[in-house]
């Protein structure tokens, strides 16, 4: 019989999609979700393509697409499935992401009915394999500066796709080197009237037999640091002509008179609206990396519960390594963070469905807030995954370095999650800008930087209101008020109030720094404050994570599982405070006595949670079948 605490914790972590996750746990078989070790690149790519087909055959490719074309249009479910698939081979995961998320998602979101009718069925069935070709040699993060052109020829009603320079070659593109028959190419759209900014165009790249089409040069990025099963490659276009109908025209089109038309006049707004519709990719990458970290924790904690080294004087047996405080300190705070991040991931997934699911009403402010939160959460979660998988590898000693124990390949694969779908540093800046410009519209024509300080003040109020709106959390904060004795660190309310004070103070002071900006010095001023900007985004996300976790915790029925989760979340919160001790002390939020008490509390919690470590990893719900590491059996 399964442990009721495991079941309750798992259900809480699974959230609204418990049923879907249960189904995925049953159905995602090791037979096609894992890859043997030691395959050549060619073999791994071949296997990955086959497994992608299997995923499509099982119907998983349909989940995120419009119902009118045979999809299920459950945006949230497609993110949840992506997380579940991350328990398998990450090359397969990324291939799935490229085909259904990036390529299919761009056709669905940036295209209109004519594109949907022509292509979605084959995309969902993996009969039409495709690429999402945005990045160029010269520009990855700065997408607005892409150089590829799509020039309208009014005489033939065609778009001419061209790679004008070496730095305009599309590179690192998934599915490009071997499988793609078509690509969504991001290019500067030009008509007789002039340039209209970056747009997406469907460009056939290979014929049925797999040969490049005339004018298309395809290259292979070859051996990478990880993801060996994904065929990343390059595209260059020499005056390739496609019908004007291939322009994905949800946000801008060329009419029959050759005139550019768009419902959004401002080119910047149009560009960011266009990219905003693709936010699901970042939700998925965050969720996928979080899942990989859970699998690593399951392996390392199971191993740590059996592996013995050294004995206490007089003891008959050597100690189990997880009984050492240092080992607990390495693994348990990361386990606690994995829990907390899961709840934040559920919250953004739910919000994505509300804002972009079928029949959703447009909500620009909500969409902007989501984009900002997703950008920050993707950065925090992918870095957590990288750090955690490495810590787990070391926690398994030499055995952890053996490929059969799954950790090294996982680390190599997750590495690039910090870069694709947006470089993490650039994303944190985006998240901070989102916070600072939240009230942009309210301030009308005040210039962008001049209004920042005022906004920061407003924002503080709004954040407090938002938290206060959640009755359970407010009650928690109230219980912290007045507790200023120097050792009261073991409580969630105190930790929550620290997270809130940190987020508000950092944002307010950032606003004050940037308030001095003028049109002439804004760029330099922002650049000079980049460390502050990144910190503001990170601590804001930490706060969102803790709030989401506490909401889930508050919703549980009182009992042993709730108590246990409470201690896990306290460990998450106190470890975060411990890491930022210097800031809390510098800013007079805690004194030296309390600072020492935080460390003591983290140690106590590690010791307290040690007996529950296996329960806690079981509750993470990593399918046993996908943990093949001999050290974790």
Ligand X SMILES: Cc1cc2nc3c(=O)[nH]c(=O)nc-3n(C[C@H](O)[C@H](O)[C@H](O)COP(=O)(O)OP(=O)(O)OC[C@H]3O[C@@H](n4cnc5c(N)ncnc54)[C@H](O)[C@@H]3O)c2cc1C
The verdict on 73 binding ligand X (CB under 6 A) reads no
Q: Closest Cα partner for 418 from 140, 81, 101? A: 140
Site mask for ligand X (CB under 6 A), range 568-607, x = bound: ----------------------------------------
As a 3-state breakdown, the chain gives helix, strand, coil percent values, each rounded to 5, of: 60, 10, 30
Locate 282 and state its tokens. Answer: 């970042």
The verdict on 63 binding ligand X (CB under 6 A) reads no
Number of residues that bind ligand X (CB under 6 A): 21
**Which residue in 78, 91, 135, 262 binds ligand X (CB under 6 A)?**
135
User: Measured from the CB atom, is 102 or 517 closer to ligand X?
Assistant: 102
Chain residues 99-128 in contact with ligand X, contact rule CB under 6 A: 102
The verdict on 93 binding ligand X (CB under 6 A) reads no
Stretch that binds ligand X, among 116-124, 168-176, 251-259, 355-363 (CB under 6 A): 168-176
Q: How far is the CB of 473 from ligand X (least distance, A)?
A: 34
User: Measured from the CB atom, is 135 or 349 closer to ligand X?
Assistant: 135
DSSP-derived 3-state class of residue 203: strand
**Which residue in 132, 152, 343, 572 binds ligand X (CB under 6 A)?**
132
The verdict on 235 binding ligand X (CB under 6 A) reads no
Stretch that binds ligand X, among 156-164, 244-252, 264-272, 412-420 (CB under 6 A): 412-420
Stretch that binds ligand X, among 6-14, 131-139, 251-259, 322-330 (CB under 6 A): 131-139
Q: How far is the CB of 176 from ligand X (least distance, A)?
A: 8
Stretch that binds ligand X, among 171-179, 385-393, 518-526, 610-618 (CB under 6 A): 171-179
Pairing of strands 182-191, 240-243: unpaired
**Sequence-separated (6 or more) residues with CB below 8 Å from residue 526:** 449, 514, 517, 533
Q: Tokens 């601590």 map to which residue? A: 539
**Which residue in 28, 33, 98, 386 binds ligand X (CB under 6 A)?**
98
68 vs 73: CA distance, rounded Å: 9
**Which residue in 16, 22, 54, 224 binds ligand X (CB under 6 A)?**
224
**Which residue in 81, 128, 189, 227 binds ligand X (CB under 6 A)?**
227
411 vs 392: CA distance, rounded Å: 10
Which residues are 240's β-sheet partners? Answer: 161
User: Measured from the CB atom, is 102 or 436 closer to ligand X?
Assistant: 102
Stretch that binds ligand X, among 116-124, 295-303, 416-424, 559-567 (CB under 6 A): 416-424
Which whole-number Å values give the CA distances from 313 to 307, 308, 318, 325, 459, in the listed order? 18, 15, 10, 17, 58
DSSP-derived 3-state class of residue 161: strand
Which residues are 200's β-sheet partners? Answer: 186
Question: Do residues 234 and 221 make contact, with C-beta atoms less than 8 angstroms apart?
Answer: yes
Q: How far is the CB of 416 from ligand X (least distance, A)?
A: 5
Q: How far is the CB of 425 from ligand X (least distance, A)?
A: 3
Locate 586 and state its tokens. Answer: 């510098």
Q: Closest Cα partner for 541 from 432, 464, 439, 459? A: 432
Q: Tokens 């944002």 map to which residue? A: 507
Residue with the CB atom nearest ligand X in the bound state = 140
**Which residue in 17, 172, 251, 339 binds ligand X (CB under 6 A)?**
172
User: Measured from the CB atom, is 410 or 568 closer to ligand X?
Assistant: 410
User: Residue 326 phi/psi, 5° resolution?
Assistant: -60, -40
Q: How far is the CB of 527 from ligand X (least distance, A)?
A: 8
**Which residue in 128, 416, 529, 550 binds ligand X (CB under 6 A)?**
416
Q: Tokens 């014929």 map to which residue? A: 207
Q: How far is the CB of 173 from ligand X (least distance, A)?
A: 5
Element (DSSP H or E) covering residue 205 = none
User: Measured from the CB atom, is 47 or 548 closer to ligand X?
Assistant: 47
Angle between helices 560-579 and 530-554 (to 10 degrees): 170
Chain residues 488-547 in contact with ligand X, contact rule CB under 6 A: none
Element (DSSP H or E) covering residue 158 = strand 158-162
Stretch that binds ligand X, among 77-85, 111-119, 235-243, 420-428 (CB under 6 A): 420-428
The verdict on 467 binding ligand X (CB under 6 A) reads no
**Which residue in 122, 354, 423, 490 binds ligand X (CB under 6 A)?**
423
**Which residue in 7, 112, 319, 425 binds ligand X (CB under 6 A)?**
425
**Which residue in 92, 173, 300, 573 binds ligand X (CB under 6 A)?**
173
The verdict on 96 binding ligand X (CB under 6 A) reads no
The verdict on 417 binding ligand X (CB under 6 A) reads no
The verdict on 232 binding ligand X (CB under 6 A) reads yes
Which whole-number Å values give the CA distances from 224 to 91, 416, 563, in the listed order? 12, 10, 45
Other C-beta atoms within 10 Å of 142: how many?
10
Q: Closest Cα partner for 250 from 59, 76, 113? A: 113
Locate 305 and state its tokens. Answer: 């519960």
User: Measured from the CB atom, is 97 or 621 closer to ligand X?
Assistant: 97
465 vs 463: CA distance, rounded Å: 5
Asked whether the CA dihedral 103, 108, 109, 112 is positive or negative, the reply is positive
Question: Do residues 402 and 82 make contact, with C-beta atoms less than 8 angstroms apart?
Answer: no
The verdict on 248 binding ligand X (CB under 6 A) reads no
Locate 166 and state its tokens. Answer: 């070496």
- E strands, 230-339, in order: 233-237, 240-243, 253-254, 260-261
The verdict on 141 binding ligand X (CB under 6 A) reads yes
Give residues in contact with ligand X (CB under 6 A).
98, 102, 132-135, 140-141, 172-174, 224, 227, 232, 416, 419-420, 422-423, 425-426
């Amino acid at each position: 019989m399964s442990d009721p605490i495991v079941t309750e914790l798992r259900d809480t972590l699974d959230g609204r999609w418990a049923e879907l996750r249960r189904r995925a746990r049953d159905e995602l078989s090791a037979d096609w979700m894992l890859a043997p070790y030691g395959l050549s690149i060619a073999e791994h790519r071949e296997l990955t393509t086959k497994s992608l087909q299997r995923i499509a055959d099982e119907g998983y490719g349909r989940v995120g697409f419009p119902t009118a074309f045979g999809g299920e249009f459950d945006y949230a479910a497609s993110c949840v499935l992506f997380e579940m698939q991350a328990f398998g081979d990450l090359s397969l995961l990324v291939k799935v992401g490229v085909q259904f998320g990036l390529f299919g998602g761009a056709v669905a979101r940036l295209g209109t009915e004519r594109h949907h009718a022509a292509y979605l069925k084959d995309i969902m069935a993996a009969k039409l394999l495709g690429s999402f070709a945005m990045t160029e040699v010269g520009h990855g993060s700065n997408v607005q500066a892409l150089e590829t052109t799509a020039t309208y020829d009014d005489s033939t009603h065609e778009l001419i796709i061209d790679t004008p320079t070496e730095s305009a070659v599309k590179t690192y593109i998934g599915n490009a080197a071997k499988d793609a028959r078509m690509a969504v190419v991001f290019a500067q759209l030009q008509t007789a009237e002039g340039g209209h900014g970056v747009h997406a165009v469907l460009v056939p790249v290979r014929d049925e037999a797999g040969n490049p089409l005339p004018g298309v040069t395809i290259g292979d990025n070859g051996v990478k640091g990880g993801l060996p099963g994904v065929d990343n490659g390059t595209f260059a276009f020499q005056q390739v002509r496609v019908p004007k109908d291939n322009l994905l025209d949800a946000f801008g089109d060329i009419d029959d008179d050759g005139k550019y038309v768009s419902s959004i006049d401002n080119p910047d707004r149009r560009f960011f609206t266009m990219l905003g519709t693709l936010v699901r990719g970042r939700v998925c990458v965050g969720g996928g990396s979080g899942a990989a970290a859970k699998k690593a924790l399951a392996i390392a904690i199971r191993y740590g519960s059996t592996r013995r080294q050294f004995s206490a004087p007089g003891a008959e047996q050597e100690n189990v390594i997880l009984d050492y405080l240092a080992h607990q300190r390495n693994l348990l705070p990361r386990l606690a963070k994995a829990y907390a991040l899961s709840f934040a991931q559920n919250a953004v997934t739910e919000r994505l469905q509300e804002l972009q699911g079928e029949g959703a009403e447009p909500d620009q402010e909500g969409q902007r807030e989501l984009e900002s939160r997703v950008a920050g959460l993707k950065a925090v979660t992918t870095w957590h995954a990288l750090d955690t998988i490495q810590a787990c590898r070391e926690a398994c000693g030499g055995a952890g370095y053996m490929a059969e124990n799954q950790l090294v390949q996982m680390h190599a694969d997750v590495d690039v999650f910090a870069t694709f779908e947006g470089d993490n540093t650039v994303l944190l800046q985006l998240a901070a800008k989102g916070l600072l410009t939240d009230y942009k519209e309210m301030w009308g024509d005040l210039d962008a930087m001049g209004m920042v300080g005022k906004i920061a003040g407003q924002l503080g109020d709004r954040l407090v209101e938002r938290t206060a709106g959640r009755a359970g959390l407010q009650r928690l904060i109230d219980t912290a008020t007045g507790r200023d004795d120097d050792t009261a660190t073991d409580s969630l309310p105190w930790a929550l109030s620290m997270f809130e004070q940190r987020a508000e103070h950092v944002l307010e002071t950032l606003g004050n720094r940037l308030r001095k900006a003028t049109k002439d010095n804004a760029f330099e001023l922002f650049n000079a404050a980049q460390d502050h900007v990144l910190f503001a985004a990170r601590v804001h996300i930490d706060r969102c994570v803790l709030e989401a976790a506490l909401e889930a915790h508050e919703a549980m029925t009182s009992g042993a599982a709730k108590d246990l989760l409470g201690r896990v979340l306290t460990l998450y919160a106190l470890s975060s405070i411990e890491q930022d001790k210097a800031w809390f002390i510098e800013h007079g939020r805690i004194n030296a006595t309390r600072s020492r008490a935080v460390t003591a509390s983290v140690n106590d919690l590690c010791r307290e949670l040690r007996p529950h470590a296996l329960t806690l990893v079981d509750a993470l719900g990593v399918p046993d079948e996908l943990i093949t590491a001999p050290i974790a059996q």
